[in-house]
Amino acid sequence: MFKNGYYGIYGRMVEAVTKIDRAGRVVIPKEIRERMGLKEEATLLVADATDEIVILKKLDVKELGKRLRQELKGMDVEAIGRKVEEESDEQARKEHKALRN
């Protein structure tokens, strides 16, 4: 079942050790890419879970778009966008007094 992997840190499966290159790229080993169906141009969400843990999550952009269309159906997306922009501008003004008019 766990071909080349073994249980390691915190009881989670450790598959491979890789490095980050100068450009910040990380190579995902071929076996993992094949098992997860990751192809060139795949979209991944990168999140820092803790100071020591980085999570990569495969995203299906088409499925995400479909879900957003369903969830936002009948809503005024432009108005939502304006409200978010206004709120972020106000937050920036509070945090950075130099931006105040």
User: Please, which pLDDT band fits residue 11 given cuts at 50, 70 and 90?
Assistant: low
Q: What is each CA distance from 7 to 27, 65, 71, 81, 83, in whole angstroms?
A: 21, 36, 39, 45, 47
Q: What is the pLDDT of residues 38-60, one digit of tens each?
A: 999 898 989 988 888 888 888 88
pTM: 0.50
CATH 3.40.190.10, domain 6-59, yes or no: no
* Mean residue pLDDT across the chain: 80
Domain ranges of the chain: 6-59, 63-99
Residue 58 — φ and ψ, nearest 5°? Answer: -70, 130
